[in-house]
Amino acid sequence: MNEAPAFEQDLARWRRAAWQRIEAAAPAAAFEERGRVHAAADGIARVTGLGGVKLDELLLFPEGRVGYAASLEADHIECVLLDAPHAVCAGQTVRRSGRVVDLPVGPALLGRVVDPLGRPLDGGPPPQTTERLPAERAAPPIIDRALVHEPVHTGTLAIDALFPLGRGQRELIIGDRGTGKTSIAVDALLAQKDSELVCVYVAVGQKTEAAAAVIEAVRRGGAPARTIFVVASGTDAPGLQWLAPFAGFSMAEYFRDRGGHALVVVDDLSQHAATHRELALLMHQPPGREAYPGDVFHVHARLLERAAKLAPERGGGSLTALPVARTEAGNLSAYIPTNLISITDGQIVLDTKQFHLGQMPPVDTGLSVSRVGGKTQAPLLRDAVSSLRLDYAQFLELEVFTRFGTELDAGVNAQIARGRRIRAALAQPRLAPRPEELQVALVLALQAGMFDAIEVGAVPARVDLLQRALGAAPELAARLRERAPVDGAARAALEAELRRLLAG
């Protein structure tokens, strides 16, 4: 008898709650523009029916696959796919996203291996980030930039001594295949183990094994907790490979814009240019020099111009770029090398002949240059290097005459002997960046002639001895790292201390 009234009361409460939800709801019309895939092949989808789409807008395909509008034609859209090309076929529905290609940024990406869209490749969960940035961003205007005055320690003596880099600089690493370009870039990443720089390594079209080797090297000897690995391997979609450098720069700009300092390695832009040419030809864009489309220069220019040292009013952060490029038979006058050389602030050229002779790293001191980094060197190192650079350049010229068996006087023989010892001291193994204090000590010792009486073959052993001795003398190491000017008496005292260490 009492069950019916209880049921009616519950039903009445449910009706009141339902009416309250209906009255609180604010219905609004939702408009969604959809199109269809007319044709799809080789990483390009031809889409029709999206009249309001914008250039570089992200388009959504079934099963979570995406692409972006790369070319807007009168009756269709050329869409570059960012997922497996075979998964998109004619007849599928395409939806607009209303936003350009963007990606997650922030500290949650540090230590992770991700693809250019921020999706994890290391087996971990998706990075929990709260901010996203477009892959394509405008470079900082000139008014917001400052002069490059802070150094970037690369750990390679031939670079830090002869062609120093500064924070905010763009330095190209260029050479033939297999001459150690990636090794120099990885050494620069390893050298940041004790610095505050956030590192971003971007692999463009590399083999999976090569990218994995770099990641393992950084995890073993670098600062993986401050490094982001952006990988678009050769098996990934061409669109993903094209997007990778832009994504890496956006991830680094997050830290730069907050007053931090970042270092981006792009390995390599030659492959990126080839991918850009592939996509352009597939979209029927006219080819130009060496079959590259005419906008390839603008593509790389707007990418590398994003590297900069910001003014104090903008936070004082910096983004340093180390792009890698490949030459064929040492031809620096090819289209892509000349483009990149004109865009960057200098280049580290690797010589194939030196590589085959066993000189590692095979830096060509005649063709390499750093246009803005010289002002970042410590005064002690700058003073010592000035004469060392001249001695080494004269040695390289004089060494040519020894190949013909020409009789030389004692002075020339002494110059050649010193040059060979300088070359032996500049050589260093892969993945073994030298600390700053050891570099300064070596340059001082070479300039003072402390290696002149040592056999060339014994130079590496003396370098190892000096490194161990500096490790046991922290006060001396700290004095060698100082960036304040050093007078003659202080320098003489440092040289005397180095003589004692080398003799012991």
Which residue shows structure tokens 């490979």? Answer: 241
CB 43 within 8 A of CB 282: yes
Residue type, 255: F
Handedness of CA 495, 500, 501, 503 (dihedral sign): positive
CB 250 within 8 A of CB 134: yes
Which residue shows structure tokens 């914008």? Answer: 54
Q: How far apart are CA 299 and CA 323, in angstroms?
A: 14
Q: What is the DSSP string of 385-407?
A: HHHHHHHHHHHHHHHHHHTTT--
3 state DSSP class of 91: coil
Q: How far apart are CA 180 and CA 352, in angstroms?
A: 10
Which residue shows structure tokens 């991700």? Answer: 114
Q: Which residues fall within 8 angstroms of residue 266, CB to CB, at 6 or more apart? A: 202, 204, 245, 248, 272, 321, 322, 323, 324
Identify the helix (H) or strand (E) that includes residue 48. Answer: strand 44-48
Which residue shows structure tokens 């870039």? Answer: 185
Q: DSSP state, 363?
A: B
**Count of residues making up the chain:** 504
First-residue to last-residue Cα distance in the chain = 107
Q: What is the DSSP string of 267-281?
A: E-HHHHHHHHHHHHH
Catalytic residue among 302, 371, 382, 481: 371
Identify the helix (H) or strand (E) that includes residue 417. Answer: helix 410-426
Supply the Cα-derived Rg of the chain in whole angstroms: 29
Q: Would residue 371 show up in a list of annotated catalytic residues for this protein?
A: yes
Q: DSSP state, 45?
A: E
3 state DSSP class of 306: coil
Q: How far apart are CA 273 and CA 297, in angstroms?
A: 9
Question: Looking at the annotation, which residues are catalytic?
Answer: 371
